């Protein structure tokens, strides 16, 4: 199945969780989320221990969930607090809970062994707290594909020239080699396209008059959070690799959450060092990203369908596959490690 359980996954944006039952499937486990009256967000196993009706089909009564079949009631700790027509509450009457944390408006849930749920492991970037960066939580892209294919696409700068020719890439970059660093976490892949006209995105947001140097750095944090650092600067500046802060720079961040082996949700957001405080620009960036991510979705779903069909030979690998291959290897190691510890 290739799921890494001992990890924090994004369940959504804080603003989407109120005092109501929200069912979600993550790593093929069914969860139900609700925000308690004290604002704390909790997640329970979405299955009544009696006849297995999903608790999300029941009702939220105060801070307790009442099963919609026979009314057994559970609190936010998963403890049974009521069995109608019965005084005795046996110890077996409980539901599992999942650790939940909220950071910068993002909801994280820990899917593994509870004792290992260390909030310090939650993905973080200094720019989240830096007021010279504009942060914007975008949307959720639902993709009928295996999450490894989705994540792999996010450490693959080479597809940009072909899949996103009007927004993020152009023909000028087709034959530029990809550089990679695969020894650490994150795995990184990047390339610079020097002295070329700005692509659609930066024509819109960069107000450049001549050619630009454009970079795409793809960082994939295990198991499946991707940061794409991309930007442009006037070519006359001859920017060095570590001077990217001098250009117009955007981070597109993808939190890839496996739902099932056939379905993945990519919660995406962005941060930028230009047009800070300009909400209109955020919306325009959302619109451009939506076009680009729909392009990825179409490709990934078509590949997923093809993968379900009989294959008579293994897919071939080419030079630009180095980072994706290392990514899959690392995931395999994490999956093996996890299954040994269970
Ligand atoms: S199935 Fe939930 S109380 Fe019976
Ligand atoms: Fe893409």
Domains of the chain: 8-119 (2.102.10.10), 132-338 (3.90.380.10)
Ligand 1 atom having least distance to the Cα of 70: 3
Which SS3 state, helix, strand or coil, does residue 72 take? coil
Closest-CA residue, ligand 1 atom 3, reads 70
Q: What Cα–Cα distance (Å) separates residue 75 from each residue in 44, 215, 254, 281?
A: 9, 50, 33, 43
pTM of the model: 0.95
67 ligand 1 Cβ < 6 A: yes
Tell me how far the alpha carbon of residue 246 lies from the centroid of ligand 2, in angstroms. Answer: 25
Pocket test of ligand 1: the residue of 21, 49, 51, 74 to mutate, having most ligand atoms within 8 Å of its CB, is: 51
For residue 58, which atom of ligand 1 is closest to its CA? 2
**Digit-coded pLDDT (tens) for 193-250:** 899 988 877 887 778 889 999 999 999 999 999 999 999 999 999 999 999 999 999 9
pLDDT digits (tens, 9 = 90+) for 86-108: 999 999 999 999 999 999 999 99
Q: How far apart are CA 317 and CA 307, in angstroms?
A: 16
Which of the listed residues 47, 67, 82, 89 should we mutate to test ligand 1's pocket, taking the one with most ligand atoms within 8 A of CB? Answer: 67
pLDDT at position 188 is 95
Does residue 156 carry a pLDDT above 80? yes
The DSSP symbol for 150 reads H
Q: How far apart are CA 3 and CA 282, in angstroms?
A: 33
Atom of ligand 1 nearest to the CA of 68: 2
The answer, yes or no, to whether any atom of ligand 1 lies below 6 A from the CB of 70, is: yes
Specify whether the CB–CB gap between 289 and 42 falls below 8 A. no
């Amino acid at each position: 199945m290739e799921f890494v359980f001992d990890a924090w996954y994004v369940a959504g944006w804080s603003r989407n969780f109120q005092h109501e039952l929200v069912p979600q499937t993550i790593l093929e486990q069914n969860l139900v989320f609700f925000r308690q009256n004290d604002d704390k967000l909790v997640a329970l196993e979405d299955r009544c221990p009696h006849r297995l009706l999903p608790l999300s089909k029941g009702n939220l009564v105060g801070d307790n969930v009442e099963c919609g079949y026979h009314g057994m009631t559970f609190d936010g700790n998963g403890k049974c607090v009521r069995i109608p027509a019965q005084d005795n509450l046996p110890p077996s009457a409980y539901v599992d809970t999942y650790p939940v944390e909220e950071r910068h408006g993002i909801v994280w849930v820990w899917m593994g062994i509870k004792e290992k749920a260390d909030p310090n492991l939650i993905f973080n970037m200094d720019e989240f707290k830096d007021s010279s960066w504009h942060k914007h939580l975008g949307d959720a892209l639902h993709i009928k594909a295996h999450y490894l294919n989705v994540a792999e696409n996010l450490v693959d700068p080479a597809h940009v020239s072909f899949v996103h020719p009007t927004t993020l890439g152009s023909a000028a970059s087709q034959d530029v080699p990809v550089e990679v660093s695969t020894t650490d976490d994150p795995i990184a892949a990047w390339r610079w396209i020097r002295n070329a006209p700005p692509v659609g995105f930066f024509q819109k947001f960069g107000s450049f008059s001549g050619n630009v140097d454009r970079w795409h750095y793809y960082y994939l944090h295990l198991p499946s959070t991707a940061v794409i650092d991309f930007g442009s600067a006037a070519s006359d500046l001859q920017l060095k690799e570590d001077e990217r802060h001098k250009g117009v720079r955007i981070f597109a961040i993808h939190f890839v959450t496996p739902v099932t082996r056939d379905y993945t949700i990519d919660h995406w957001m962005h941060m930028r060092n230009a047009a800070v405080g300009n909400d209109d620009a955020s919306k325009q960036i959302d619109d451009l990203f939506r076009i680009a991510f729909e392009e990825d979705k179409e490709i990934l779903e078509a590949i997923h369908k093809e993968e379900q069909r009989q294959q008579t030979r293994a897919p071939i690998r080419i030079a630009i596959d180095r980072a994706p291959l290392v990514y899959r290897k690392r995931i395999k190691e994490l999956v093996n490690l996890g299954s040994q510890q269970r």
